[in-house]
A and B are shown apart, each in its own frame.
Chain A
Amino acid sequence: MAAAARAAECGVRVGIVDDNSALGGQIWRGEPDFERKSDEQKTEAAEWAGRVSTAGVTPLCGLRVVHQPEAGILLAEDLGGFCELTYEKLVLATGARERFLPFPGWTLPNVMGAGGLQAMVKSGLPIRGKRVIVAGTGPLLLAVAAYLHKHGAEIRAICEQASWGSLARFGLALSGWPAKLVQALQLKRDLAGVPFAANSWPQAAHGQQTLESANLCWAGRVETINCDYLACGFHLVPNIELPLLLGCALDKGCVRVNDFQETTLSSVFCAGEPTSIGGVELALIEGQIAGLAAAGHATQARALFGKRQKARRFAHLLNHTFRLRPELSHLPLSETMVCRCEDVSYSRLRQHTSWRAAKLHTRCGMGPCQGRVCGPATQFLFKWNPDSVRPPVFPARVETLAAFAGELQLQRREVTGGR
């Protein structure tokens, strides 16, 4: 949104293609009208939403890009059909997803991502009075717990796998980012009275048809707690599938960009989480730089470099603090499903030595999610590296795929700019 607004304010034609039904991504996911809220984040979101609409950006929501048949043309589909999007400059802002780690019972309904449960509540799931455990790692846990708590959920426990020591170091380092410190203290106040422990993680989830209770490794001992929802997220992984498909080069698992957020492909820019997991503040700065640079305003873009540098240092601090502890790789039992799409168990995967061998022999990573869930999990469990991405980058209908083979008449939509 920041990229689109800044570029459009420079006078170029801009469209935002968003897979969601409304703009704003996961953090600013628009809340339904029947539950209007006003918190600080919303105000910033509202400000950018205002700029996007004032600048005359065309929102194309509920549309997902599945392929780039040739440079400058993207193929996208929605519920009703498909279309071609043409661009001169493209800004990729594909965001991040949560990292999910398998443990016994994690496939039960109502065991969800932390951000996943929050997104469901934002989409109307009644949470008042429900018993929730939030577990995993990263600042998102507290943000989600505070959100759910505010909406009447009974947060039974927050499990953070990082150690008290690294949290303490993180807390000290926060003094360099006063705004973040204020945010952290606000979260602490919001969550007063909610049980929180470091060195803690989910060990197993139990239930017949749906979740009933969870075993937690809670600061050194195992506790069983009854709950309605278990929200688990182990920090974030960048969504690099689309950049990879287009041919952008990577650097340590993230999209490589220059000072102007331009990828190794000319005219293709990238901003936010795909270039490094850094949170909304960094994403907004990078987005603005990308938008300005794409619109040809290098000087204005350069003015934001200093702010970006500072935000990047914070990103580095986050990723260091919330790195995963090795014990988590021992959570799955032999029969625990690792690939949820194809139901491939831990014991079947353990026999293989690479992601490709596992795919060929077990179909792991070949279901509809295309390894988006089990890829990062097996990377952590077995140190496997997923290889190339192939089109379509998301499952697509045959009619859409047939379209780029030239067999169907396309409905063309002219768009300058991109996501």
Chain B
Amino acid sequence: MLRQVMSNQVTVTVNHTPVVVPVGTSVAVAVALAGQACRTSVSGEPRGPLCGMGICFECRVAIDGKPHCRSCQVLCQQGMEVNTAK
């Protein structure tokens, strides 16, 4: 039973902290669940997703080392390493 539940979930890390989310969850949601802002603005403000559809670029993070990925447009995969932009 436990295994069945687990198979519907994936674990990603947000700034090296593991977050367990259901399959089909976007990276932006995983970042929110980790209690993190996605990025820090030019003048140092914390920012999170605005449009939720890949237009505003406020939710950009580094995914598996690749910078500037729009986290609202990417689904979590097992083992993904997400780092919020500093």
Q: Which residues of A contact B (CB under 8 A)?
A: 19-21, 26, 32-34, 62, 64, 79, 97-98, 100, 107-113, 115-120, 123-126, 209-210, 239, 337, 340-343, 367-369, 372-373, 395
CB pair B49 A32 closer than 8 Å: no
**Smallest distance from the beta carbon of B42 to chain A beta carbons, Å?**
4
**Smallest distance from the beta carbon of A124 to chain B beta carbons, Å?**
3
Chain B residues within an 8 Å CB radius of A337: 41, 43, 45
CB pair B29 A343 closer than 8 Å: no
We find that the number of chain B residues with CB closer than 8 angstroms to chain A is: 39
Residues A120 and B54 in contact in the complex (CB < 8 Å), given A210-B46, A368-B60: no
Contact with A along B47-64 (1 / 0, CB 8 A): 111111111111010010
Contact for B51 among A62, A113, A209, A367, CB less than 8 A = A113
Give the distance in Å from the alpha carbon of A108 to the alpha carbon of B63 in the complex.
23
**Smallest distance from the beta carbon of A132 to chain B beta carbons, Å?**
14
CB pair B68 A120 closer than 8 Å: no
13 additional A-B pairs beyond A123-B28, A239-B55, beta carbons within 8 Å, are A19-B73, A21-B74, A26-B53, A79-B69, A79-B74, A100-B51, A113-B51, A117-B52, A120-B32, A124-B29, A125-B29, A209-B46, A343-B41
Chain A residues within an 8 Å CB radius of B58: 340
Chain B residues within an 8 Å CB radius of A26: 53
Contact for B68 among A111, A210, A368, CB less than 8 A = A368
SS of A interface (majority): loop
Residues A120 and B28 in contact in the complex (CB < 8 Å), given A19-B54, A62-B73, A395-B57: yes
CB pair A109 B53 closer than 8 Å: no
Chain B residues within an 8 Å CB radius of A112: 48-52
Chain A residues within an 8 Å CB radius of B46: 108-109, 209-210
Residues A124 and B25 in contact in the complex (CB < 8 Å), given A112-B49, A342-B42, A369-B55: yes
13 contacts between A and B (CB under 8 A): A32-B23, A34-B22, A34-B23, A112-B48, A112-B50, A115-B51, A117-B52, A120-B29, A123-B28, A123-B52, A125-B32, A340-B41, A368-B60
CB pair B48 A368 closer than 8 Å: no
**Smallest distance from the beta carbon of A82 to chain B beta carbons, Å?**
14
CB pair A32 B22 closer than 8 Å: yes
CB pair B42 A118 closer than 8 Å: no
CB pair A120 B45 closer than 8 Å: no
CB pair B72 A119 closer than 8 Å: yes
Residues A118 and B52 in contact in the complex (CB < 8 Å), given A340-B58, A368-B60, A369-B57: yes
Contact for A373 among B23, B26, B33, B51, CB less than 8 A = B51
